[in-house]
């Protein structure tokens, strides 16, 4: 029997949209186009940050949020943020 780990979404609304937007910008500037950041190190660092943002936006789950007990989904029953 496979154990299913269910993760409660904790990213939503404007927070999720901002994460998408910034994530895509950073990912693009970091990995896809070197015109903005000619330095490879900086580009890769920003790219990784962008990727993390994108992933949290896609899965609607941010591990740091769950540790800090922040919830930006529409549900207001637990946490605030």
Partner 1 sequence: MSLRMRVLTALLGVTLLALLTYALLAFWMIRDGQQAQVFTVLAELARHTDGENDMPLPDAVVRIDRRTHRLDLVRPENSRIRDDSRLRRLVQSLPTDADRGIVQDAGHRYFWVRLRRTDDDLVLLLRADGLDNQTLQRTLRTRLIVSGLAVLWVAVWIALILSGTIVRRLERQQDILRHQALHDQLTGLPNRALLTDRLETALHQAERNGKPLALFVIDLDRFKEINDTLGHHFGDALLKEVGQRLRGVLRETDTVARLGGDEFAIVLPEAGPEAALFCARRILEACSDPIQVDNLLLKAQPSIGIAFHPEHGRNSDALLRHADVAMYHAKRKGSGFAIYEQHADPHNLRRLTMLNDLESAASRNQLRLMFQPQLDLRDSRIVGAEALVRWQHPELGLLSPADFIELAEQHGLIGGITNWVLAEAVRQAAEWRDRGLDLCITVNLSAHDLQDSALPDRLQKLLEEHRLPPDRIEIEITESAVMRDFDRGLRICHRLAEQGIRIAIDDFGAGMSSLRYLRQLPAEILKIDRSFVIDMAEDENNAIIVRSIVDLSHNIGRRVVAEGVQDPDALLVLQVLGCDLAQGYFISPPCDAAELLDWLRRYEQQLRRQRA
CB of 31 to partner 1, least distance (A): 14
Q: Identify the CA nearest to 79 among candidates 45, 51, 71, 35.
A: 71
Nearest to 66, CA basis, from 18, 4, 5: 5
Whole-number Å distance between alpha carbons of 13 and 35: 32
Question: Which position among 38, 74, 76, 77 is part of the footprint of partner 1 (CB under 8 A)?
Answer: 38
Cα gap 79→73, rounded to integer Å: 10
| Contact region with partner 1 (CB under 8 A), list: 6-14, 16-24, 32-40 | 32-40
32: contact with partner 1 by CB under 8 A:
no
Q: In this chain, which of 17, 58, 59, 69 binds partner 1, going by CB under 8 A? A: 69
Binding residues for partner 1 (CB under 8 A): 37-39, 41-42, 45-46, 49, 64-65, 67-70
């Amino acid at each position: 029997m496979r154990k299913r780990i269910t993760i409660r979404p904790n990213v939503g609304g404007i927070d999720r949209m901002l994460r998408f937007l910034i994530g895509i910008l950073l990912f693009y500037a970091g990995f896809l186009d070197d015109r903005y950041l000619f330095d490879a190190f900086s580009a890769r660092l920003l790219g990784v940050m962008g990727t993390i943002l994108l992933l949290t936006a896609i899965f609607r789950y941010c591990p740091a949020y769950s540790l800090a007990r922040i919830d930006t989904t529409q549900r207001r029953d637990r946490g605030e943020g």
